[in-house]
Amino acid sequence: MRSWFQFFATILTLSALVSPATGQTMAFQNVSWSPRLLATGSPALFKVEVQGSPSALHGQWMGHEIVFFPDGPHVWYGLAGIDVEAKPGNYKLELAATLPDGKLVHEERAVIVEPAKYKTETLRVPDRFVQPDAETLRRIDSDKQIKKTAFAHEIAEPEWSGKFVAPIDSSVSEGFGTRRTFNGKLASIHRGLDYHAKPGSPVTAANSGQVVLARELFYEGNCVIIDHGQQFMTLYMHLSKLEVSEGERVEKGQQVGLSGATGRATGPHLHLAVRWQGAYLDPAQLLALPLPNLPPAVSSKRGAP
């Protein structure tokens, strides 16, 4: 079935349109993204500059929908990303701007995704984390359903504002994307960033949002997941203590727990992960990415803390 983006691409072949109802001219003036060079695992902030004042702007890219928010009348932003296991290549960004009278203007841009290089490492963990018994397998399946529900949570508007900040005052012990072999078996890709952390160190929210999971899981240990809007989430794992509850709204820098070594961990540390609509992104790149402050037009739609 053809997407609605493709449908309107057929009937609207121009990137500018004059609305007969309002007399308003709408045109895409510039489309850019940060970082400029995108690779597998990268977060991506898209910036769209327009002539005119659309009432809404949506995008489609790499099989994901991007909902843009305005920063003034002529600039729109959308926060997205590229999964660590995505195939490098040339991907089409499809944009559809809605005029106040409901008419659509369509535009496309080619976005190149480069391959990223990640290292491999070998680790030893208790055998029960590599070859779990039947009872543990049932628990793992239950955890999967719990996480599936959390990941399906939806907040229509972005809850974050400005740059994401490191959740702990410590150095990084392990980077993103490492191919990990546990006890001689290739088990996983490291989809996060590990920090050195003494047990009991404060762990804080990287940005504002809503807690969609705060409980103990088999692999993750005590885990907190925060939805920052539009299924852009941060995950905090192996905590010794949880200090927030599911459904609670948190602000950037608010303490959510204490670091520890619960779950599948070789020692005390904090594992930070970033997830966008099922794609796992490099937290270090997100923390380094300059992001706009949330405009009042968006923040006014937030629920009460």
Which residues lie below 8 Å from residue 106, measured CB to CB, with a gap of 6+?
Answer: 5, 8, 9, 12, 15, 94, 95, 96, 97
DSSP letter for each residue of 81-133: E--TTPPPEEEEEEEEEEPTTS-EEEEEEEEEEE-----EEEE---GGGTS--
Q: How far is residue 236's CA from residue 245's CA, in Å, rounded to a whole number?
A: 14
Please tell me the predicted confidence (pLDDT) of residue 9. 41
Please tell me the predicted confidence (pLDDT) of residue 175. 87
Q: Which two tokens stand for residue 116?
A: 């990223």
Is the distance from CB of 51 to CB of 29 less than 8 angstroms? yes
Q: Which of 49-53, 186-190, 250-254 has the highest mean pLDDT?
A: 250-254
Please tell me the predicted confidence (pLDDT) of residue 182. 61
Please tell me the predicted confidence (pLDDT) of residue 5. 42
Q: How far is residue 226's CA from residue 247's CA, in Å, rounded to a whole number?
A: 10
Report residue 121's pLDDT band, with 50, 70 and 90 as the boundaries.
low
Of residues 282 and 72, the one with the higher pLDDT is: 282
**Of 226, 237, 281, 293, nearest to 260 (Cα)?**
237
Please tell me the predicted confidence (pLDDT) of residue 247. 97
**Of 204, 203, 215, 207, nearest to 245 (Cα)?**
215
Of residues 250 and 72, the one with the higher pLDDT is: 250
Structure pTM?
0.85
- For residue 10, is pLDDT > 50? no
Q: Is 74 exposed, middle or buried (0-12, 13-18, 19+ CB in 10 A)?
A: middle
Q: What is the mean pLDDT of residues 20-49?
A: 86
Q: Which two tokens stand for residue 231?
A: 């299924």
- For residue 304, is pLDDT > 90? no
Q: What is the mean pLDDT of residues 256-280?
A: 95
Q: How far is residue 212's CA from residue 235's CA, in Å, rounded to a whole number?
A: 10
Is the CATH number 2.60.40.1220 carried by domain 4-116? yes
Q: Which two tokens stand for residue 19?
A: 């609305």
DSSP summary character for residue 79: E
Q: Which CATH superfamily is domain 120-288 in?
A: Glucose Permease (Domain IIA) (2.70.70.10)
Q: What is the mean pLDDT of residues 212-240?
A: 97
3-class DSSP state of 296:
helix
Q: CA end-to-end span of the chain, whole Å?
A: 41
Is the distance from CB of 24 to CB of 100 less than 8 angstroms? yes
Please tell me the predicted confidence (pLDDT) of residue 22. 47
Report residue 174's pLDDT band, with 50, 70 and 90 as the boundaries.
confident
Domain range list for the chain: 4-116, 120-288
